[in-house]
């Protein structure tokens, strides 16, 4: 089984790196098709879902706050004020830069107990369960939803863009 560091930081970094690539393709599509970028950034798959901008913000927030809890440290706070592709891309880059400050020795074997907010409650569970059942699924959900919003709006992206290049 991978260490908690190996299962979280490189995995989330890769997801956010691929998210940047997808957002760059979204920005290029808007420019090429003469679509106001705000239209794509405000798009949703269904009226009661968050728009693309919020999907990116949440993917970054879960990535930084989740790993911070696993490393027993405080995550940086971000204002949720991104309105352009460039700002959303910068948020993902800033999150990756934060992840790069975390060191393997800050993580335990997954037995550490972490507490985290869920709506108006606080939940507590072992770090390994938190990573595998809350953090990673949430990061992937919001990255995938961002991808789906852009794809639904005609951006020419595919599974390879979401997954990124194969690395060994």
User: Which domains can be identified in the chain, with CATH numbers?
Assistant: 4-161 (1.20.120.450)
Condensed to tens digits (0 to 9), the pLDDT of residues 19-51 reads 999 999 999 999 999 999 999 999 999 999 999
User: What are the structure tokens assigned to 60, written together?
Assistant: 């970054």
**The pLDDT of residue 138 is above 90:** yes
pLDDT of residue 167: 82
Mean pLDDT along residues 65-87: 97
Q: With 90 as the cut, is the pLDDT of residue 7 above it?
A: yes
User: What is the rounded CA–CA span in Å between residue 141 and residue 126?
Assistant: 22
In this prediction, residues 58-84 reach a mean pLDDT of 97
For residue range 153-167, what is the model confidence (pLDDT) as tens digits?
999 999 999 999 988
Distance from the first to the final alpha carbon of the chain: 17
pTM score, two decimals?
A: 0.96
Note whether 155 and 25 are within 8 A (CB): yes
Q: How many residues does the chain have?
A: 168
Q: What is the pLDDT of residue 2?
A: 83
Q: For residue range 79-135, list pLDDT tens digits in order.
A: 999 999 999 999 999 999 999 999 999 999 888 999 999 989 999 999 999 999 999
φ, ψ for residue 91 (rounded to 5)?
-60, -45
């Amino acid at each position: 089984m991978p260490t908690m560091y190996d299962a979280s930081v490189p995995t989330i970094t890769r997801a956010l790196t691929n998210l940047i690539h997808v957002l760059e393709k979204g920005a290029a599509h808007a420019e090429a098709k003469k679509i106001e970028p705000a239209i794509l950034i405000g798009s949703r798959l269904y009226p009661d879902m968050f728009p693309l901008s919020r999907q990116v913000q949440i993917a970054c927030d879960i990535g930084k706050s989740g790993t911070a809890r696993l490393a027993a440290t405080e995550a940086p706070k971000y204002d949720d004020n991104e309105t352009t592709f460039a700002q959303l891309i910068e948020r993902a880059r800033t999150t990756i830069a934060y992840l790069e400050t975390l060191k393997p020795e800050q993580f335990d074997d997954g037995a550490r107990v972490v507490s985290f907010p869920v709506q108006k409650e606080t939940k507590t569970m072992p770090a390994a369960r938190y990573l595998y059942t809350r953090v990673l699924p949430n990061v992937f959900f919001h990255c995938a939803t961002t991808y789906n919003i852009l794809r639904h709006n005609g951006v020419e992206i595919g599974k390879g863009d979401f997954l990124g290049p194969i690395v060994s």
